[in-house]
Structure 1
């Protein structure tokens, strides 16, 4: 399982959104929320990764 990381997805030619994803057993898992900026997506990814690290 990889860590959560942001990815930019095109909505239209000029409009993008940021989503979080990770790879689990060779399958891509997407987080449900969408983010307007890379900074917001990165902060959310760091929170998710920290939460999973704390659960170990």
Structure 2
């Protein structure tokens, strides 16, 4: 079985956790707000980028 660290999901999760750890360390007093803002931004990009994908290939 392949180590999950080397799979796409493992690398994505690792990068996401590293970004969250950085944000929590950088803004310790407002950690919950920073994590929620990062989640909202990631969700908005996750919803908009697939809509913009087709025009990029045309």
On whether the aligned pair clears a TM of 0.5, the verdict is no
* Greater RCO (CA < 8 Å, at least 6 residues apart): 1
TM-score range, shorter chain: 0.3 to 0.5
Of Structure 1 and Structure 2, which has the larger fraction of its residues in strand?
1
